[in-house]
Each structure stands twice: as C-alpha cells, then as structure tokens.
A = this chain, B = another copy of it.
Amino acid sequence: MTDQREHILGCACDLYLEAGMEGFSMRKLAQQVGVTAPALYRHFENREDLLLQVVGEAHNVLGSYLYRALSASTPRERFSAAGEAYMEFALEHPRYFQIMHAFAEHLGLSEVPVEVEERMGGVKRFWDDRVRECMESGVLRRDDPDRVGLTLWAHAYGLLSLYLRGLLDAPESAFRELYGDSFARILRGLATTEYGADLDQHLTHSRESGPTRISPVDGTTP
C-alpha cells in the first residue's frame, strides 16, 4: 500500500543527506528509487510536499536525540543533556538541522505550514520543560519559563548555525568546548554585578505590566 511511499521517502532522505538541497531533484530521486519521475507524483503531491515529509523525518531524529536527555536523573542534568543533545544532533546531522530550520522559501513555500510550526512548538516545549524544572529545583532563577526557554533556544540555535555555516573557524572539538562555555556564560550572566542589578530592576519592572510571573529576589533554596 504505502510501502512504496515510504521507500521513496527513505530514498529522499538519503538523497538529501548526501546531495543537499542543491543536488536534490525529482528526476534524480526517481532514478534512485528505480522509477521515472512522474511516478513520484502518484505518491506525493509535489516536490514541496515530499520535502516537507523529509523535514518531518528530521524532526523525528531530533526527537530521538532529545528524548535520550530525559534519562538523566536530576533536572540539572537533564537540562545539560538537552543542550548537548541539541548540539549533538546538529553536528551529526547538519543537513537535517539545516532543512528543519530553513526559511520557508528555501523549500519553495510561501508560508511555514502548520505541521512544521507544530513540530517546532514541540521542540520549544521540551526546552521550556527543562527550564521549568530547573527553576523549581533552584538551578535557574524563577522567571517566565517560556521567555527564558526562548532565550536559551535562540542562543543554541544561533551558535550552531554560525558554526555549521563555517563562520567560526574552529575545529569541532574546540566548538564543543565553546558551546558549553557560551551556555555557562549565559547562565551566569555577562554583566558586572552593579549593572546586573540595574537589569534586574528593568526586568522585574517590565514584568509587572505583562501577563507573566514576577521573579522574586531569591527564594530558591528549599
């Protein structure tokens, strides 16, 4: 039934992973599958639809990486493991990382389809959960987990993106260290203590007008 469909999808992933977006064409894919190009349209609406399924597969692989992080025993370790899992995924499957974060038009779409948006929402929620439990266990300051999660996600994504693009002329081992360091710096804070106090005021002030929780000074220790 959908056996051939899955076979095609598998070949599509392979072809994309080895040839990239540039070398991906319906004709080449068909050849790899062992049919002619128009046959693909019996199983997929068009190229865009097909690539979207590949994005879905990329999300599945990322999911398997993140899921492993849950086996750590403390919130703090799960938090670390999640950060490392995200990095590991990006370094081991750069093409998947790339395609799932690609701008919509890269895939020939005008808008990000709901399916992808929802999957991304899942990644975000995973982060938020790690953040939340770290706040509850006194590792992270009490704050809006959603916003803090976003800050962390953006940082991780940005760093990995810059590295994969070859803009950081560091070997992988050096980057791995740099990634951890950068995370630690963010957690600890970059400002001096005096300036940090200023920022504290700013952040708590802006929180009062918004729909989010108020962060106390320090009520973390159990």
- Listed in ascending order, the chain A residues whose CB lies under 8 Å from chain B are 20-22, 74-77, 79-80, 83-84, 98, 101-106, 108, 111-112, 117, 120, 137-141, 143, 147-148, 150-159, 161-162, 164-168, 173, 176-196, 199-200, 202-203, 206, 210-216, 218, 220-222
Knowing A157-B161, A159-B150, A181-B206, say if A108 contacts B22 (CB, 8 Å).
Answer: yes
* Chain B nearest CB, measured from A1 CB (Å): 34
Majority DSSP secondary structure for residues of A touching B? helix
Inside 8 A of A108's CB, which chain B residues have their CB? Answer: 22
The contact sample of 5 A-B pairs, CB cut-off 8 A, is A141-B191, A177-B206, A181-B212, A184-B199, A184-B214
B196 close to A189 (CB less than 8 A): yes
Taken together as a complex, chains A and B put the C-alpha atoms of A194 and B221 apart, in Å, by: 9
Question: Which residue of B has the minimal Cβ distance to A197?
Answer: B188
Identify the closest chain B residue to A94 (Cβ): B103
Taking a contact as CB atoms under 8 Å apart, the answer to whether A222 and B222 are in contact is yes
**How many identical chains are in the complex?**
2
Q: How far is the CB of A127 from chain B (nearest CB, A)?
A: 12
A-B residue pairs, 10 tightest by C-beta = A189-B189, A158-B158, A80-B215, A154-B158, A154-B159, A187-B191, A188-B199, A177-B211, A74-B220, A155-B155
In contact, A203 and B221 (Cβ under 8 angstroms)? no
Give the nearest-CB partner of A131 in chain B.
Answer: B190
The residues of B that contact A220 with a CB separation of less than 8 Å are 74-77, 137, 139, 192, 194
* Chain B residues in 8 Å Cβ range of A74: 220, 222
Provide the residues of chain B in CB contact with A222, threshold 8 Å: 74, 137-138, 221-222
